[in-house]
Structure 1
């Protein structure tokens, strides 16, 4: 592999020069790449030499444009059976954010500085910091797929992330911990919510509070998976945001969760009134045949929408229970209605807050009204794929064991 200077004269009589890297790729094909500066040519030579020795080099002519690689990536995800919600999110990132800014770039031309410039463009064009992070994750996944297909040798997005992680070691920022009363409803708030529950939302929200099921798992729960005599339910499926039924998020998501008496009684009552689902068939008298399928369906027995559960169930119940926060105007001042009363909203905006409460209830000491379960059992109840995920999210809620009374008791037991 050599670097040499090349000089020539254009048809118009202008003398030009450039630096050429001359090498043979892994397929035995001679390749030439031209640079304006010797330094750039030498950098390419050194990097390409490493890639050739590792057997991962991809010449520019064998590379493709980012937009093309993105289309191949999406098709592969769909063909592999990836959830529709995930492929739709990827397609949105590709079509609305990646293609308009850097879609015409060749994969082999991408560099860390180019990705940094792409980040800046996204922010300048109104993308939020959270959206920028999600787009970069999708871009990194796209390039990883292109690597596997032999379109490119390096994943510059992951190279950039690695550099940032090294830099963050000197200025490590701890992710905010979930807080009771902020992210997790307190025991007093849960009592108020339970007291305010009524109608069709009572069994659903009670089940969410005392089983910790994800909203998608609640929406996909079937009566055949609920055993009221044994006081337990089995999670075998979930409903995504497109109302498509599929398997739980991970293998650990398939699990058995015990039901407390309050939930069992509420479900027994609800089963009598629960809407049935039409089968599309007729009985001998010509009447539509219906079946009792989903535990928490909409009014005609089909999958209930998540937004409906939140808007009509969770939020109004919190307001009725007094678990609210004031609504602020654009100046940060509390808003008031026409009668001068404060305008309030439900304090917790999503069903996941109830899952957080269930986790804290499993963890808390029995003398504090909790179950006092060990970490491994909490992981199993929540359906987390690893115990690391459980501890990262909820580890700070577990009793530390260094309470003065606990230490004194342990000392007495040890020493007599």
Structure 2
């Protein structure tokens, strides 16, 4: 049984009082906590008695913050990485980004006007919350504030997933008994669905190709024809290309730290046919490059290693796009700026326009399911055949 008593004392600054909570846990260990207000002591007494009754009481939960739990989890991930377990640098960066940008935000330097700001300044973190005070409602409120700040469904789910793993690790450390984040869902609004892809136009891609120098041109042409993701593009080796058969085999990828691995999923392992013009461009590139052996990268940096995507975008892709826009402007036309990933969208749109079936497009794109393909590109498939089918049904059944 927990008891509360009033404590008074006097010193030079005057008379003071506090409320002292005394209780014994299930293991027979005595605990003592002091509060400035009686209502806080009463609330803690009720909470402790309920936890002891359910067997979920953990003494350290009252003094351990969620921020500390995040720090412990980060150290555990670093340990797993050092032991050679499957914790990639990309995964580590994502998880720590969730913790220190959203769950328990750390103080960031002020944004500099006119420069890209790499930091997230989320003002509603819950890192200072004691584990004992972390309730399902607190997590739900945190989720709602994340969504209200403009974070998308997928990222919000990832942040909640990281929070759940942090709490599970705290349970393993015997700091906590219940994972209050487990089972809390992130549900999108009725009108919040996957964004429909709008690929660059043929005219815009043609302008980009024309504005590119010889070496960069073959990269743009290949990316806009093969539909490879950037991670797959930079991991491609000559042994993955069959220039006689005109195919490319995708089985590897490289992450942001330039570590090479297999594709993320079974669907990513695929073979994509290449048109004759693409094969011709690749043959010319192979004769020109210093790295043409089977195990060499097809599109390496100057030293034959994996290209830095951010560097290529900033140093080559964006200036080339600027030149293409300037040339189109001379003809009174406007180029809508796009990123490197739009070359993949363009490739997929050309497959659809050529009449490939949705299932074939899914296979060539390396999508995990047909639903992913149709959510993103379904609006690009021609609907004439659908209309003809409905007309035939209506005329044979419903016409008088």
Aligned counterpart for 1:300 among listed residues 282, 297, 303:
303
* Aligned residue-pair number: 360
In the TM superposition, what is the alpha-carbon distance from 1:293 to its structure 2 partner?
0.3
Q: CA separation in 2, counterparts of 1:158 and 1:187? A: 47
* Aligned residue among 193, 197, 206 for 1:175: 193
8 Å contact kept, 1:122–1:132: no
Q: Find the counterpart in structure 2 of residue 266 from structure 1.
A: 281
1:144-164 Cα shifts (integer Å, max 9, x gaps): 2432525434445567x54x7
Alignment of 1:253-292 (within 5 A): 253-276=268-291
Picking from 390, 399, 411, the partner of 2:373 is 390
Distance 1:120 1:47, change over 3 A: same
Aligned equivalent of 1:251: 266
* Per-residue Cα deviation, 1:108-167 (whole angstroms, up to 9, x for no partner): 3224675688789999xxxx74499958844641442432525434445567x54x74xx
Match of 1:331 in 2: none
Q: Is the 8 A contact 2:240 2:250 kept in 1?
A: yes
CA distance in 1: counterparts of 2:68 and 2:127, whole angstroms: 8
Residue number among 88, 91, 107 corresponding to 2:131 in the alignment: 107
Q: 1:68 to 1:6 in 2, by over 3 A?
A: closer
Separation (CA, whole Å) in 1 of partners of 2:323 and 2:288: 23
TM-score for both structures, normalised by structure 2:
0.70
Does the CA-based 8 Å contact 2:194-2:376 persist in structure 1? no
Higher relative contact order (CA 8 A, sep 6+): 2
Deviation of 1:234 after TM superposition, in Å, equals 1.4
- The equivalences for 1:108-123 within 5 A come to 108-111=132-135
Q: CA RMSD in A?
A: 4.5
2:200·2:338 contact (CA, 8 Å) conserved in 1? no
Following TM superposition, by how much is the alpha carbon of 1:209 offset from its aligned partner in structure 2, in angstroms? 1.1
Aligned counterparts of 1:402 and 1:40: Cα–Cα separation in 2: 67
Q: For 1:356 and 1:14, how far apart are their aligned partners in 2?
A: 70
Structure 2 unaligned regions, length at least 5: 107-124
Q: Which runs of 5+ in 1 are unaligned?
A: 278-289, 327-340
1:70 Cα deviation from its structure 2 partner: 1.9
Matched residue SS, 1:301: coil
Instruction: Tell me: CA distance 1:409–1:190, structure 2 relative to 1, closer, same or farther (3 Å).
Output: farther
Residue 402 to residue 224, structure 1, CA distance change in 2 (3 Å) = closer
Is the aligned partner of 1:372 residue 2:356? yes
Separation in 2, partners of 1:324, 1:48: 74
- Taking the aligned partners of 2:202 and 2:101, their CA distance within structure 1 comes to 43
TM-score normalised by length of structure 1:
0.68
SS in 2 for 1:7: strand
1:141 aligns with 2:162: yes
Partner of 1:6, secondary structure, is strand
Give the whole-Å Cα distance in 2 for the aligned partners of 1:257 and 1:58: 57
Q: Please name the residue that 2:65 is paired with.
A: 65
Shift of 1:405: 3.9
Query: Do the aligned residues in 1 keep the contact of 2:105 with 2:127 (CA within 8 Å)?
Result: yes
1:86 partner SS: helix
- For residues 65-97 of structure 1, give each alpha carbon's deviation from its aligned partner in whole angstroms, at most 9, with x where no partner exists: 333322332344342322212312433454566
Distance in 2, matches of 1:323 and 1:262, equals: 27
Following the alignment from structure 2 to structure 1, what is the Cα–Cα distance between the partners of residues 392 and 75?
Answer: 62
Instruction: For residue 214 of structure 2, give the secondary structure of its aligned residue in structure 1.
Output: coil
Q: Does 1:360 align with 2:349?
A: yes
**Residues in 1 aligned to 2:18 and 2:71: alpha-carbon distance in whole angstroms:** 39
